[in-house]
Amino acid sequence: MKLPRDISGEELAKLLRKYGYEITRQTGSHIRLTTHLKEEHHITIPRHKPLKVGTLNAILKDVANHLGIYKKILIKESFGK
């Protein structure tokens, strides 16, 4: 499955809530998310619309590594129809 080309940083932050991520702070145009599942983990998402594909890919790769799942599964669960 291909990555979406039109997702914003705020939309991604909302999608990651189901994986335990919560917004912990916002500085300028960046959102900081934190989860305490498994261990504490932080990610920073730019509030750009749309996110660049490389940025989205890097964020999803980091989240998948932390959760111990394949990135393909994360993409399918988050963006699949």
Helix (H, G, I), strand (E, B), or coil: what is residue 35?
Answer: strand
pTM: 0.91
Domains with residue ranges and CATH for the chain: 9-79 (3.30.920.30)
pLDDT over 90 for what percent of the chain? 83
Average pLDDT over residues 12-37: 94
Q: Round to whole Å and give the CA distance between 70 and 79.
A: 14
Report the pLDDT value the prediction gives residue 19, as an integer from 0 to 100.
Answer: 92
